[in-house]
Homo-oligomer: A and B are copies of this chain.
Amino acid sequence: MDMVEFTPTPEQYGWTFGGASPLLEVSPGTTMRLWTEDAYCGLLTRSTDKASELLRGDLNPQTGPFFVTGAEPGDTLALHFVEVQPARDWGVSTLIPLFGGLTNTVLAPTLNEPLPELTWIYQADLSKRTVLFEALSGEIAIELPLEPMLGTVGLAPSMREARTSLVPGAFGGNMDSPDVKAGATVYLGVNVPGALFSVGDGHYRQGEGESCGCAVEGAMNVTLIVDLIKGGAPAWPRIEHDDALMTVGSGRPLDDAWRISQVEMIAWLNSAYGLDRLDAYQLLSQISECPIANVVDTSFSATTKVRKRFLPAGGDRFGGIHERLRSQGRQLL
């Protein structure tokens, strides 16, 4: 099994999905050890730092893109996350004017004064596996469990598009789903030769919806296995855990993101388990979990999650690739 280690220089950061030249070519089956910078390019280190002053508008640097040997449009890229580990002992979150879920924004403008710009620093205790929330007003401090995840994972979009790393879509991207974590396999439909995937936007933890637009942002060490399934491209990103299947839809308003994730899950249950589409619709009505991923980006993301214990035995989920990669991944730990 091939192994590639890669840490990008700032000049190598990716800022888009699509539209950039690949940094490396990797074969299916390759294990990659990647480093990802935080969404603020590592420039915010104190609660007095302001994103508007220290960043030049560039947010959410990606590690990638990587060209996957043999990947063609219509194929399915499988990225199995073996480890997602904080690379620092602190994380950071901010309130950015005209950005977030509970404020006027550029895409939903009002005449109100914007909210103020604020920065919170979270100390991380990697042995206790916690991060520390400290209120800016008053003395309240709360220990929260470390739950590392990646906000972005995606590949080059269809239709010759290049999209900013701030937006999610059918190509993945900035979905901000807490389900993209160690142990997960993410399936993405390939649109261009080589797939051209990137990852980034590590979160030491995040609430569902990512209310203010920013999680506990932090640099990450990521170990993943790249694999390729010929054909079978899903229309929207799919995620597999040992105990659950997930689909992520992105759009506006949030109900359409939810609809996309539900219809994609019905398609998956239909093809993998032979469930009639209307039976699958009925079954989802009784078993779906629907955690919201983000209500803050320029497109919102909703998740449909189904526990495998509520599905028929058997089923063909991309030929059992998750179990195989999971087993490979365990040997790497």
Contact = CB atoms under 8 A, between A and B. Distances in A.
Interface of A: 15-16, 18-19, 93, 95, 100-104, 107-116, 118, 120, 131, 133, 135-138, 140, 142, 144, 159-164, 166, 205-216, 251-256, 258-260, 262-263, 266, 273-279, 281-292, 295, 300, 302, 304, 310-312
A161 B164 contact: yes
Contacts of A273: 140
Contacts of A112: 103-104, 110, 112-115
A93 B281 CA distance: 11
A274 B302 CA distance: 31
Given A112-B113, A207-B287, A216-B286, A260 B107 contact: yes
Nearest to A162: B162
7 contacts: A18-B162, A101-B259, A104-B112, A136-B282, A140-B312, A252-B252, A254-B254
A199 B258 CA distance: 28
Contact of A103 (B107, B110, B159, B209): B110
B102 A142 contact: no
A16 B312 CA distance: 40
B209 A258 contact: yes
A40 to B, nearest CB: 15
A19 B160 contact: yes
B259 A290 contact: no
B107 A138 contact: no
A206 B290 CA distance: 12
A259 B276 CA distance: 30
